[in-house]
Amino acid sequence: MSDPYLYSVTKSVATFSINDAPWNLMSIEYIDRLEEQLPDVLADDSIRAMVFTGEGLDHFSAGMNLKQLPEGIKRAGSPAAFFGQRHRVLDMIENGGTPAIATLFGYCLGGGLELPLACHFRIAAKEGAQIGLPEMDLGSVPAWGGSARLPRAVGRTYALDMILRGRKIDGDEAYRIGLVTELVPVSDIKGRAQSLGEELAAQPRLAVKSMLDVVVGFETRTLDESMAHEMNAAAANSGTADAAEGMLAFMEKRKPVFNRAPE
């Protein structure tokens, strides 16, 4: 049996790929490996962006391997513990302080949308994408945070339309309602995710982490609380080597080079 989980790092961008083409189902083993490795990745200052994708170009992920559900609940001890693990993993992606990019192509259903919803950037294929939370068609509901994160991404009206009707949308509609940030040809989607990751990795790491702390989860804060977070971020980034480099580059009319190793 092939490894269901592939991991690599290129130019400070870590790529996590579901290796179960063509459907790229999210197996128990895949989630276990993510939970095991993510803390080390997020603590590694040399890794400054993450990409979540699936092998091949047929489907990002058709969601959880439902055949494993009874086994997974038995291993975890209860449904709450089983789904709680998935919540922990997605929370690490969203709140870990490293920008995360998801590629949405082919089927992006159930967990195959819920994981991208925890990412900060989502790139969709112009053709062939089918994006949705179809759990209602199975007599169930999203259980990996989909019903919590989707309204924050697209608003209550669109979220209810997708969830209650089990409706799948294509890349064009996903872009129109603000679910994804970019549309690209499916043949270019992985290359675009890598180039965006490299662009983010070139930004000053502390400033990026600070802004993720301010912006992620803003929906649950008052304006004053968000302003306080911003002030803390500004103080933390004042006088840093990257701040000095940014100002010097501006004065010298050149592109700044951030994240240099201390001499």
User: Which has the closest alpha carbon to 52: 41, 64, 60?
Assistant: 60
CA dihedral 103, 148, 168, 73 (to 10 degrees): 80
Maximum distance among all Cα pairs of the chain, rounded to whole angstroms: 62
pLDDT of amino acid 263: 45
Q: Which of 55, 114, 182, 199 is catalytic?
A: 114
Determine whether 114 is an active site residue.
yes
Q: For the range 215-221, what are the long-range contacts, defined as Cβ-Cβ under 8 Å and sequence gap of 24 or more?
A: 216/94, 216/95, 216/120, 217/95, 219/152
Determine whether 135 is an active site residue.
yes
Enter the tokens of residue 108: 């992006």
Residues 173 and 124: their CA atoms lie apart, in Å, by 10
Residues 16 and 51: their CA atoms lie apart, in Å, by 6
* pLDDT, one tens digit for every residue, the chain (263 residues): 578 899 999 999 999 999 999 999 999 999 999 999 999 999 999 999 999 999 999 999 999 999 999 999 999 999 999 999 999 999 999 999 999 999 999 999 999 999 999 999 999 999 999 999 999 999 999 999 999 999 999 999 999 999 999 999 999 999 999 999 999 999 999 999 999 999 999 999 999 999 999 999 888 889 999 999 899 999 999 999 999 999 999 999 999 999 986 54
Cis peptide before 22 (omega within 30 of 0): yes
Residues 183 and 122: their CA atoms lie apart, in Å, by 9
DSSP 76-97: HSSHHHHHHHHHHHHHHHHHSS
Surface-to-core class of residue 50, CB atoms within 10 Å of its CB (0-12 exposed, 13-18 middle, 19+ buried): buried
Q: Which of 29, 36, 55, 135 is catalytic?
A: 135
pLDDT of amino acid 6: 96
Cα dihedral 123, 108, 194, 189 sign: negative
DSSP 204-256: -HHHHHHHHHHHTTGGGS-HHHHHHHHHHHHHHTTT-HHHHHHHHHHHHTS--
What's the predicted TM-score (pTM) here?
Answer: 0.94
| Crossing angle for the helix pair 205-215 and 241-252, to the nearest 10 degrees | 110
Strand partners, 183: 124
pLDDT of amino acid 1: 56
β-strand pairing of 5-10 with 13-18: antiparallel
Enter the tokens of residue 158: 């669109």
